[in-house]
Structure 1
Amino acid sequence: MGIVLNQSLKNTIITYIGFGIGAINTLYLYPVFLGATYYALTNYVLSAANVIMPLFAIGMQNTLVKFYAQYETEEERSQFLSFTILFPLLMCIPLGIIGFFFFDEISFFISKKNAVVKDFIWLIPFTGLCMAYFEIFYAWARVHMFSVFGNFIKEVGLRLFSLFILIGVYFHWITVVDFVYITAGLYFLAFIITMLYAFYIKKPVFQFSIPHNVKGIMEYTFYIILSGSVANLLLDGDKIILNQYMKIENIAYYSVATYIALVISVPSRAMHQIVYPITAKLMHENKHDELNSLYKKTSINLQIVGGFVMLCIFVNINQLYEMVPKEYSGGILVVFMIGISKYFDLMLGNNNAIIFNTKYYRAVLFLGVFLVILTIGLNMIFIPIYGIIGSAFATLLSITLYSLAKLLFVVKRLDLFPFTDQTLHSMAITFVLFLLFYFWEFPLNPIIAIGLKSILVTILYVYLNYKFVVSTEINQVLDTVLKKLKINI
């Protein structure tokens, strides 16, 4: 786990710094400086762009990771890298033509409930294309085992620049309308910077030729498009559907709640950047026992770290919502439902990386398509009745079913299993500490109360996990830190 632990730790730190900046933006600056309408509008544009991004990328970010290690010569690798960059451009042409000829119909459908969306619709494909090429060039860096810089751009850079332009709105240097356009421009800047970094790591030698295994590449790519669409629809589809049924301000309320819950998934996002290519390599070399060991290690390590984050959020949720405008408070239940679904997904470790690198991935992807249809249907049923709570319940149900299906698939087909006795120990520690601290509130300023309660939770959580040796890898890291600090437990 050397390189995994090293880069995962750096990526985790970077990602949490990014989420910390994002928390400032989400909990205070967006609601206060932008107001609910333009915060919701910005979030809608980015969510819609994220949903269509897999169509622009044509799955090349995942295809690059899977196939790059299989090429033996420098000539073949250059040919393949050229193909992953140039082919999506060809596929964007028909999408652009469709968008041009049916723009009025698309515009009418999207803006029929919220007219404010109409003038910004063209930003959606522009941002989606920038996101797509960012991911492709980020994958270029990752296959060469350089995952940290791209993660910094994605998690810290974008949020930090958003903070700066929010300050610009506050001082009236720019308008809230300008903010939406500049935000789209940030994704273009991120794509350009990441491209230059990728070229610095590996200077491109562009070749206008087709790889010899193009049939296998295209088949895999088709299913990855389905996979990416499924994942992004499960992540952002609910916000798009909310726009069709409710006033756009509700997207802002929902976004604050989902952002808080998504912090739980940060360890997974950080670790997967480096675990994915290692998983692909182990599977290509048919090293089943090493893969099974990696599966268990990623599962328990992500569960411990993610469980700690979830615990801190859940026991402090009431104080957190005292810091945002009162109209946002209806999202507390959303945080719990989305948070639990993310926690379960964390427990599956590098499950996705395993599935996407096996010949059996097709069945699970088609199941994912079915669950997206289910998600859309459930949202259409529950949103008109229960509003954003209904949307959160639909998401919880869909993601849980999808995660469970993927787990059963890996267990049955590949004879890999992520859980151990430590899995139950970790769940028990998390649940007991939740019961102990959730109903215990300090009559202090919310920030002080959150800080004090989080310190107590941290001490107990770390101590119990260390004493029960829930994760040997985390204990080794703690032993190193304690040794340097000359502390004995």
Structure 2
Amino acid sequence: MGIVQRQGLRNTLISYVGLGIGFVSSTLILTRLLTPTQLGLTSVMVSLAAIAAQLAAFGFASTALRYFPYFRNPANGHSGFLPLLLGVPLLGFVAVAGLLWAGKGLVLKQYAADAGLLGPNYPAVILLTLAVLLLSLQDAYLKSLFHTAFSAFLQEILLRLYIVGAALLYWRGVLSFHGFVLAYVGGYALVAALLAAYLLAIGELHLRPTRAVLRVRPLRELLAFGGFTLLSNLSGTVMVTIDALMVGAKLSLAAAGIYAIAFNISTALTLPFRALYKTAFPLIAGYWKEGKMAEMAAFYTLTTRLNTVLGCYLGLGLALNLDFIYGLIHRPAYAAGTTAVLLLLVGRLVDGITGVNGIIVVTSPRYRFDLVFNAGLALAIVGLNALLIPRLGLAGAALSNGLALVGYNSLRTWFVWYAYGLQPFDRRIPAIGAVAAAAGVATWLLPVPPGLWGALLVRGGALTVFYGAGLLLTRAAPEVNALWAKGWARVTRWQN
């Protein structure tokens, strides 16, 4: 087994463990240790730092992945690639840090209601930007070297556990809240430092600049590619950070904290989609390379159907058991995000069902259109947030996100159909939707016993029975019938 396969298996395991830890820590633990306002502050800080770090990096993390094979030469330290990879973004950081500091008054004006909390911690945003920048650049360098598992472990598991530990120290009175914020920033700095130590340990920390680096590929070419990917990366970052920033600015940091938890709860719906995309990306890229359009069309239809089956089940499971999830938090204030969760789930469900079209676009000859779609989505979310948050509050932010995702995926689905004649929908998709709706209504109408756990068991069990039976009887998803037949055959053989 090669290093890529080994690292891939480790990354998959780490990703799932990390997602589980992330959901439990952010949704069930940090909500008990921190108030909505405090969580909102950290959410706004991370969002500001993520956008600032993307600007400073100037797309060089993607540049590393694209161009490192040209520089790869362990004998001469890869022609001084690492100093170039770090040098240009660090110059960018100096400029971005200057803008952040000069714009402090403008930023605090947007958060006037909470300026007393954000103001003293504002310098930490600049430090966090530097830590996030160094972390992302070293992570890209390690990916280019096919050493990804350690970086994934640090970011997906260690950092999340570290933040929970810092919050526990604050809750026990060992740290002040300002001390917790510094420790929070220190967690990202620690990961960046550990990545540097790891590079040193594997003999890849080549920090001596050389003129040879400018002879391998023209700097102008690297900067041009970086500028293009900057726009794409920035659009992607805006998509996942702008809600927290605008909710915090237009409502309050407390509202931003409540919304962050609602957003995290809805993220659970994306787990099966992410797992499938890991397989879908190389397969679709291979179909393009070999010109197998019929196979791509069949795969597109199959994955859309599977995502619909799994997405409807998980979406209903989360929606029907929100009382249970919020009941575990033991802070009633967070339950104000219930409506936001429901709206976010709708957007994420549509995004998951149609999401393979994005892989088709980005691996196709017309991959540049992916930037157009991403930029359009980011602008749509910003515009809708500005319109709806002042009128509908948290629900307005979630509705903006959902509407933008539905519109974005509708356009992208149409583009794939128009450009390549591929569309994944057949009569089975509405049939699955009808079964899911009927199962959801039937489950909701059932009486449930008092107590969180009793309600969870009744609703979870009933939804599984109603939904599974509906799919089997209607044969809306042949894969479910095949899985049932295979399982029943094993049970029959075991009994005999």
Displacement of 1:73 after TM fit?
A: 9.6
| Residues 1:343 and 2:332 aligned together | no
CA-to-aligned-CA distance 1:397-418 (integer Å, 9 cap, x gap): 1122122222222222234334
1:321 match: 326
| Residues 1:37 and 2:37 aligned together | yes
* Structure-2 change in CA distance of 1:114 and 1:268 (3 Å): same
CA-to-aligned-CA distance 1:62-85 (integer Å, 9 cap, x gap): 4555667xx699659999896587
Local SS of the residue matching 2:188: helix
Q: Distance in 1 between matches of 2:492 and 2:149?
A: 27
1:99 match: 97
* Structure-2 change in CA distance of 1:160 and 1:134 (3 Å): same
Q: Distance in 1 between matches of 2:449 and 2:53?
A: 46
Displacement of 1:342 after TM fit?
A: 0.8
Displacement of 1:321 after TM fit?
A: 2.6
Q: Distance in 2 between matches of 1:474 and 1:211?
A: 56
Match of 2:316 among 311, 319, 322: 311
Tell me which moved more, 267-276 or 173-182: 267-276
Contact 1:337 1:393 in 2 (8 A): yes
CA-to-aligned-CA distance 1:346-403 (integer Å, 9 cap, x gap): 1124333333334423344234334433322222222222211111111111122122
* Structure-2 change in CA distance of 1:257 and 1:277 (3 Å): same
1:443 match: 449
* Structure-2 change in CA distance of 1:14 and 1:74 (3 Å): closer
CA-to-aligned-CA distance 1:284-309 (integer Å, 9 cap, x gap): 55554454455444434444333332
Local SS of the residue matching 1:447: helix
1:271-420 matches, cutoff 5 A: 271-273=276-278, 275-276=280-281, 279-280=284-285, 282-284=287-289, 286-324=291-329, 325-420=331-426
1:51-450 matches, cutoff 5 A: 51-65=51-65, 75=73, 83=81, 86-87=84-85, 89-100=87-98, 103-110=101-108, 111-115=111-115, 116-139=117-140, 150-193=151-194, 208-209=213-214, 211-212=216-217, 218-273=223-278, 275-276=280-281, 279-280=284-285, 282-284=287-289, 286-324=291-329, 325-450=331-456
Displacement of 1:316 after TM fit?
A: 0.6
Q: Distance in 1 between matches of 2:46 and 2:26?
A: 14
Tell me which moved more, 222-231 or 328-337: 222-231
Q: Distance in 1 between matches of 2:152 and 2:487?
A: 26
Local SS of the residue matching 1:174: coil
Give me the identity figure in percent. 19
Alpha-carbon RMSD = 4.2
Local SS of the residue matching 1:361: coil
Contact 2:56 2:96 in 1 (8 A): no
Local SS of the residue matching 1:45: helix
* Structure-2 change in CA distance of 1:308 and 1:196 (3 Å): farther
Q: Distance in 1 between matches of 2:485 and 2:50?
A: 37
Match of 1:470 among 470, 473, 477: 477
Q: Distance in 2 between matches of 1:221 and 1:483?
A: 54
Q: Distance in 2 between matches of 1:145 and 1:441?
A: 53
Displacement of 1:213 after TM fit?
A: 7.9
Q: Distance in 1 between matches of 2:412 and 2:428?
A: 21
Contact 2:71 2:216 in 1 (8 A): no
Local SS of the residue matching 2:321: helix
Contact 2:170 2:180 in 1 (8 A): yes
Letter in structure 1 aligned against 2:88: L
Q: Distance in 2 between matches of 1:107 and 1:201?
A: 44
| Residues 1:26 and 2:26 aligned together | yes
Local SS of the residue matching 1:444: coil
Q: Distance in 2 between matches of 1:290 and 1:85?
A: 44
Q: Distance in 1 between matches of 2:365 and 2:75?
A: 22
Q: Distance in 2 between matches of 1:320 and 1:55?
A: 37
Letter in structure 2 aligned against 1:470: A
2:49 match: 49
* Structure-2 change in CA distance of 1:90 and 1:411 (3 Å): same
Contact 1:143 1:277 in 2 (8 A): no
* Structure-2 change in CA distance of 1:10 and 1:312 (3 Å): farther
Contact 1:301 1:471 in 2 (8 A): no
Contact 1:383 1:389 in 2 (8 A): yes
Q: Distance in 1 between matches of 2:464 and 2:446?
A: 15
Q: Distance in 1 between matches of 2:220 and 2:106?
A: 39
Tell me which moved more, 131-140 or 246-255: 131-140
Q: Distance in 2 between matches of 1:147 and 1:432?
A: 44
Letter in structure 1 aligned against 2:265: I
Displacement of 1:192 after TM fit?
A: 4.3
* Structure-2 change in CA distance of 1:73 and 1:381 (3 Å): closer
Contact 1:49 1:128 in 2 (8 A): yes
Displacement of 1:202 after TM fit?
A: 9.6
* Structure-2 change in CA distance of 1:86 and 1:216 (3 Å): closer
Contact 2:357 2:413 in 1 (8 A): yes
CA-to-aligned-CA distance 1:306-335 (integer Å, 9 cap, x gap): 333212101111332333322222211100
Contact 1:51 1:237 in 2 (8 A): no
Q: Distance in 1 between matches of 2:79 and 2:462?
A: 50
Q: Distance in 2 between matches of 1:469 and 1:194?
A: 48
Give the gaps of 5 or more residues in structure 2: none
Contact 2:83 2:206 in 1 (8 A): no
Q: Distance in 2 between matches of 1:477 and 1:7?
A: 33
* Structure-2 change in CA distance of 1:36 and 1:293 (3 Å): same
Contact 1:364 1:405 in 2 (8 A): no
Letter in structure 1 aligned against 2:349: Y
- Bigger CA radius of gyration: 2
Contact 1:107 1:118 in 2 (8 A): no
Displacement of 1:28 after TM fit?
A: 3.8
